[in-house]
Amino acid sequence: MTDRLPGFSTLAVHAGAQPDPTTGARATPIYQTTSFVFNDADHAASLFGLQAFGNIYTRIGNPTNAVLEERVAALEGGTAALAVASGHAAQVVVLQQLLKPGDEIIAARKLYGGSINQFTHAFKAFGWNVAWADPDEIESFERAVTPHTKAIFIESIANPAGSITDIEAIAAVARKAGVPLIVDNTLASPYLIKPIDHGADIVVHSLTKFLGGHGNSLGGIIVDAGTFDWSKDNKYPMLSEPRPEYHGIRIQETFGNFAFAIACRVLGLRDLGPALSPFNAFMILTGIETLPLRMQKHCDNAKAVAEFLSTHPAVSAVNYAGLPGDRYNALQRKYAPKGAGAVFTFSLKGGYDAGVNLVSNLQLFSHLANVGDTRSLVIHPASTTHSQLDDAAKVKSGAAPEVVRLSIGIEDKEDLIADLDQALRA
């Protein structure tokens, strides 16, 4: 058969998963095992020395997880991927390959609140410094570059208000600075945006959100675009220098355009330990098979709900990039023409009390701290996730007292609109 390039939906179902060679099982088996037997002593030595491809121990790799890895790599257009226990674990493992104490990362100010915490507190304790920049002002990234900068980190569709980032403009800053661009593509998923096509060198995900999609399994993944030259200027010794734990192997020289994914596996996951359970990998793989269908429905529903809210008498403002008047609408049409995602915020004329009332009056929307579920979700940040901040800090982080965040599910849009309408009127 001649080569042809399959479409996104075909990859979502097939990439990485061939029938099991031993049993013929068509669905991907759950290899619920900690370890794998070696053929002989030399095979074992070859595996430990990275000379052979194969399985040793599930903290380093597992056949079920490998199917998930190859599938997400294929969907993102990357050379390889590494699945880990959560999106947060993905971020630690990525930065461990790139930063030494005293090094810096430039991060977009608009990030998932959990990432802001992780960067500000946990990473600071590792001696990894963060310089914050404003994704709405590209020059702020350029100004933040110093000789210690080792990476730039952004979200494609950014928390909490679903704003769209100009990935190509920030990729140009990263190229000029000679550092990789890391894009958290969780809220877009590769169905809406493929950051590697716009200049990303590394893509990370919380698989827990739209990729898994059903709110039942935590997971994270790192995708290597295979685009960055780690050995140039010797800025990334984990990849370019001989590794003492592997008898002097140089990772990039040995693994070429998937060296970063290998470094994350054999230096990061192996030593830090945040392995993904094969059961979770199976659940997430099953979710990914319907990603194109779900994501389109999420976006279509979100647009209908945003349009409804924008004309509602109790609502003062809606931030949804898919609405024609939105400040991110032009970027949305460029980067995510199929839809603006399903996470956005809106503001209530009635302020804090109206936010609390809305959340308690909703009957179909679930009040919880997650996004990207089949079910529609709601949170009032000022009374929950951001309640410890003073009012000024709440406003600055996009969690002003009158702001409500929605993650729109795949129910019938009429029912979602009716639920919001009755709750706003109650």
Partner 1 sequence: MNHDAYDDNYIRSILNNVKTIAMVGASPVNVRPSYFAFKYLAQRGYDMIPVNPGHVGKTLMGKAFVASLADIDRPIDMIDIFRNSSHIMPVVEEALKLSPLPKVIWMQLGARDDAAAEKAEAAGLKVVMNRCPKIEYGRLSSEISWMGVNSRTLSSKRAPIPTQGMRLSLNRTSFGGGQTAASDRAAKNKTETT
How many other C-beta atoms can be found within 10 angstroms of the C-beta atom of residue 23? Answer: 8
Of residues 53 through 82, those in contact with partner 1 by CB under 8 A are 53-55, 61, 63, 65-67, 69-70, 73-75, 77-82
Verify binding: residue 39, partner 1, rule CB under 8 A: yes
Measured distance CA(62)–CA(277) in Å, rounded: 9
Measured distance CA(283)–CA(166) in Å, rounded: 32
Min. distance of Cβ 70 from partner 1 in angstroms?
5
Verify binding: residue 337, partner 1, rule CB under 8 A: no
Min. distance of Cβ 110 from partner 1 in angstroms?
25
Binding mask 181-200 for partner 1 (x = CB under 8 A): ---------------xx---
Of residues 208 through 227, those in contact with partner 1 by CB under 8 A are 225-227
Q: Two tokens at 253?
A: 């020289």
Min. distance of Cβ 66 from partner 1 in angstroms?
5
Could you write out the DSSP letters of every residue in 217-252? ---EEEEE-S---TTGGG--HHHHSEEGGGTTEEHH
Side chain identity at residue 127, one-letter code: G
Measured distance CA(15)–CA(68) in Å, rounded: 9
Instruction: Select 67 or 336, whichever has its Cβ closest to partner 1.
Output: 67
Min. distance of Cβ 226 from partner 1 in angstroms?
3
Please, are residues 357 and 402 in contact by the beta-carbon 8 Å criterion?
no
Verify binding: residue 43, partner 1, rule CB under 8 A: yes
Binding mask 264-303 for partner 1 (x = CB under 8 A): -x--------------------------------------
Measured distance CA(259)–CA(224) in Å, rounded: 8
Verify binding: residue 22, partner 1, rule CB under 8 A: yes
Interacting span for partner 1 (CB under 8 A) from 47-55, 208-216, 347-355, 399-407: 47-55
Q: What's 265's DSSP letter?
A: I
Could you write out the DSSP letters of every residue in 15-47? TT----TTT--SSPP----SB---SSHHHHHHH
Q: Two tokens at 394?
A: 């709440």
Verify binding: residue 246, partner 1, rule CB under 8 A: yes
Interface residues with partner 1 (CB under 8 A) are 1-6, 10-11, 14-16, 18-22, 24, 39, 43, 46, 49-55, 61, 63, 65-67, 69-70, 73-75, 77-83, 196-197, 225-229, 242, 246-249, 253-254, 256-258, 261-262, 265
